[in-house]
Structure 1
Amino acid sequence: MSKEVSEAEQATAKDYRDPPPAPLLDFGELRLWSFYRALIAEFVATLLFLYVTIATVIGHKEQNAADQCSGVGILGIAWAFGGMIFILVYCTAGISGGHINPAVTFGLFLARKVSLIRALLYIVAQCLGAIVGVGIVKGIMKHQYNSLGGGANEVAPGYSKGTALGAEIIGTFVLVYTVFSATDPKRSARDSHVPVLAPLPIGFAVFMVHLATIPITGTGINPARSFGAAVIYNQDKPWDDHWIFWVGPLVGALAAAAYHQYILRAAAIKALGSFRSNPTN
């Protein structure tokens, strides 16, 4: 009888294991070289991301100004952003998790995937990397950079700030929701027969969102990307609109984290069920 019960339990046991929640404050991380290695990886990855993508934007605008049939176009810019995210997440996922975006870091913090200390220092490293990456672009093509908008995010003519904020919220929701889904241990276990490389859907999400929102905001969905360009370009219009590129992504990340954790993964219901099943004295 006990053997039959054991076999039944094995048959109904989960075929995946959720990692334990990260502590809110983990000062022990500050003593680990792996933590600082992760910060360096986030800094360098964000630097490379901004260098390649902003250089693509400026190069397109320069070619397009001379001949409207030249340049990579919106499609090429979207591929540059999505392709670089695919490459960099693939390269850094095993070191830092491959966030490269404060909104992603914020969403993962809300889901208790990273500690508060790690989240804050990741965001600092990402913003510094973005500033340096855009600074390199300006150093290489200073005249073109200054005359062609600096790759800075701002609300496009004909659109309201409310519309731009909504676009940033929805775009970031798509990205962060994809991050959660692509890295979900449950999905990985249940769909193990379908070999999907996690950075691939994440890169495609960035690509698709850029196609939709480049005409509205130039596409932020990454506060570090917007901050780095705003700091180096340093003009009034990008700074006036800059709050949109922090509030929108952070709200979108919060919504995606709540949707995935509390609706799709039913964390609240599981917690309530666990509470009810506890014996009372």
Structure 2
Amino acid sequence: MAMRFDTPRDLRWFCTQTGLSETAAIERLTTAREKTRETLHVYKCVEELMFGTPRADSHPAYETIKHQFSNPSFTVLELGCCYGTDARKMISDGLASSNLTVSDLHSAYFDIGETVLFAGCPPVTATKVWGDLAVPVSTTDVVATNNLQSAFNAVSAQAILHVFTFQQSSDFLAQIHRCLKPNGILFGTCVAAVSLDSTPAVSREWGVIPTKGLENRTEGTRRYLHSRDSLTKLLTGLGFTNVVVEEEKWQGSSAQHQVGEFDQGGPIGWLLFSASK
């Protein structure tokens, strides 16, 4: 199943949710981006106005997970919720707000989503948890203090791992393992080092982590691009089972454009991963 990250923005869902025309929708996205630029880091997906298009529903595991939304005991944790686009998509697909928890480092992006991006839409009434899960338990135990441990049937982590160091990605996935119920599923994506032939891709560091004054973010620390092999090994080593990691290469002009963003260290694309507790 092709991901949407390498294709033109698909604003049909966003237009349906907001009642805007496509032209007005792009204006709304631009306004949200400029509001973000005032105080927050503008990630690549924000700069290119990709945040009005849901991501979670493009994952191969989503259709199976969506079938459980009608189950009154089925709970979902969305990590890196940003503006709340995926949260709203899952709710529109039948997930009860009371069964959804959204989380990010802080509320600033989500607040812009509520007041600017989705202005005029009903607010998201899901449980909200703000804090850093990409740290060891001994540093900040967000999971325990917010009653997240063994609380979720599914955890969504879309387009997150590539903004971490290797150690942060390991800590983050370990925290997710704690959050899942037995047999619960993690499904996610990340920008990755991929192979263009039979030679295995090599994981590598790339550009520095944006700090913006955030705690636990050291100036100059380099982010990490996993390969299929490195992510499979990491998930398995953390105790996940049924680990599936698939590559999806970027095609054409998009791939050429994005190489510069990732330090020209070799072919890049997406990893689509899922794993169970």
Report the TM range for the smaller structure's normalisation.
Answer: under 0.3
TM-score (norm 2): 0.26
More strand by percentage: 2
Higher RCO (CA 8 Å, separation ≥ 6 residues): 1
Give the TM-score of the pair, scaled to structure 1: 0.26
